[in-house]
Structure 1
């Protein structure tokens, strides 16, 4: 059977997982000339806009996905794209059902589920060799390639329009003038991955004292109050507007989050704070200027996504102090 040039890609959630596919698709487009239709959840679809390898984005919401009509949707999808390849980068029951209906080539990425469980249950003592060898984009690429490309070949790519770039520049100039902008994302989906509110405030003050302007991005109630050198844009920008703002920022400070990958996608350096989660899960930023700060705790990792309640008062996150983060940010300017 000949290998198709057109593929349906499935990656439904979460935001970071979707962003991490973008560099892989760029790689496959450049190497093989493949083109893609992309199925994802509606809230994340906009990050795929403008990608030169993606011809169509199909979005679905969680309610549709969870209802019985979701399986009818997958059957119709298989009929509509008969003869194309299916690139399953999700690997759940739903995407496997789609593969059963598919009339064409199917490629799946290795999730290393057994190794992840083993690594987690033994607090990092067993199962780590393969996990540490491949990050998530490389695992995606292994759906197609026998040998994973280098990490730098698969860095995420978000393609902003000239209008969006100019929007970002105009907002940055308006709020900061000629000062360097450091974006902060002080939010986390799971509480145990969150840095502490007092630490965020201390960091913002130290950055302002160092002559920088702080911009808060994300969704939620910011722990950092607005001031002469702090602008709070939480909940005020779309996903792509956030990317545009990040593209004209000198760095982003964040925990293990989706915006961490958004910044990578527009080539903005990241200072990432990792506590309960671990490099073995494959989500660390990999840009040449990116900095990962993590705790040296014997109990890491304690969960896959930071959902587990910590019995040590989040000592791993508390150990990453604001002065250490400040030094890392300042090192980007040296």
Structure 2
């Protein structure tokens, strides 16, 4: 299709939060390169809140996958609602059953479609227990770009930060993180799966050592419940610490806070990607997973990763598989001193 004849493009990336976050630099870049075309992003209601300061030609639509759009019947309802927008092009950045059904229906109606190649075969070879083929795979950013390239779009990656064209949004009353006398450190100590989480007893050592210095102010990020409980125990025990865990601040406020940090310490998790979206350097800890899979944060420096090279790593794409060794050596062999040294080196390099 002639690019000049394209009027409306539907982009599909329904979940998960980190993957949607990784799509933003590419989606914003292509939108800004083609201001004459209207792009619509179909995603989850929760993830739709990530699209802050979006390009003027980008529309966000939420799919109610757990509501009226659930199941085959619900997906057909969603298709009928979407087809009224007269899309010319469908860019499937997800390639799961739901998105496959949607793009199939649009293809039947005459739309040009393209979908992401997730490299599933390569990833299986990278994570297999025997005959592992350990090499760097394409990043998700490259894979997303390839989808648009297949559809005829050519563009440069112009995204720097969600706040690159505006002043950092002001924080709500009662939240003040500025302190010119201290380096500001964010810590997001949790992830969805055990294979990604640095042992809590070791992370507490990191916290205790950093908090003992008045040169640093530590801010914790986490969700309600278990994470909030542990983090609150730390803030009660250690000085120079503040918790945002379980506060329901909203993405704009959390991202505003993250944008003002000197460094974020995170697992291979959504928080790594959120901090990346506001151009904050991240020290990322990797256990069962590996940067080779292609899930590093946007423009993050590989030298800021903390990991132990073991023959069994990576054993999992998402960190959800039980440890073959039963000891999670990939995480327990990372010492608190290794992490603290990385943080201090990064902070000192910014002075």
Note whether the superposition's TM-score is higher than 0.5. Answer: yes
Deviation at 1:233, TM superposition (A): 1.2
Asked if the contact 2:276/2:300 (under 8 Å) is kept, the reply is: no
Deviation at 1:201, TM superposition (A): 1.3
Which residue number corresponds to residue 11 of structure 1? 13
Deviation at 1:286, TM superposition (A): 4.8
> Deviation per CA, 1:273-332, whole angstroms, max 9, x where unpaired?
001012232101253556111121111111121111114321101111111111111111
CA-based RMSD: 2.7
Counterpart Cα distance in 1 of 2:163 and 2:58: 14
Deviation at 1:248, TM superposition (A): 0.8
Find the residue that maps to 1:201 and give its secondary structure.
Answer: helix
Deviates more, 1:245-254 or 1:20-29: 20-29
Paired positions, count: 326
Deviation at 1:169, TM superposition (A): 10
Runs of at least 5 residues in structure 1 that lack an aligned partner in the other structure: none
Find the residue that maps to 1:21 and give its secondary structure.
Answer: helix
Asked if the contact 1:21/1:140 (under 8 Å) is kept, the reply is: yes
1:11-30 pair list within 5 angstroms: 11-30=13-32
Which residue number corresponds to residue 117 of structure 1? 124
Counterpart Cα distance in 2 of 1:124 and 1:170: 55
Asked if the contact 1:19/1:156 (under 8 Å) is kept, the reply is: no
TM-score (norm 2): 0.84
Task: Return closer, same or farther for 1:298/1:22 CA change in 2, 3 Å cut-off.
Answer: same
Runs of at least 5 residues in structure 2 that lack an aligned partner in the other structure: none
Task: Return closer, same or farther for 1:157/1:21 CA change in 2, 3 Å cut-off.
Answer: farther
Deviation at 1:53, TM superposition (A): 5.4
Counterpart Cα distance in 1 of 2:281 and 2:116: 28
> Deviation per CA, 1:135-167, whole angstroms, max 9, x where unpaired?
001011011226xx9xx9376743489686221
Task: Return closer, same or farther for 1:264/1:84 CA change in 2, 3 Å cut-off.
Answer: same
Task: Return closer, same or farther for 1:260/1:113 CA change in 2, 3 Å cut-off.
Answer: same
Counterpart Cα distance in 2 of 1:229 and 1:18: 33
Which residue number corresponds to residue 300 of structure 1? 313
Task: Return closer, same or farther for 1:69/1:239 CA change in 2, 3 Å cut-off.
Answer: farther
Counterpart Cα distance in 1 of 2:333 and 2:93: 35
Deviation at 1:114, TM superposition (A): 1.7
Q: Does 1:275 align with 2:277?
A: no
Deviation at 1:204, TM superposition (A): 1.3
Counterpart Cα distance in 1 of 2:164 and 2:64: 24
Find the residue that maps to 1:56 and give its secondary structure.
Answer: strand
1:233-272 pair list within 5 angstroms: 233-236=244-247, 237-272=249-284
Counterpart Cα distance in 2 of 1:169 and 1:298: 50
Find the residue that maps to 2:148 and give its secondary structure.
Answer: coil
Structure 1 counterpart of 2:200, from 197, 200, 205: 197
Structure 1 counterpart of 2:71, from 67, 70, 79: 67
Which residue number corresponds to residue 217 of structure 2? 213
Find the residue that maps to 1:101 and give its secondary structure.
Answer: helix
Deviation at 1:203, TM superposition (A): 1.0
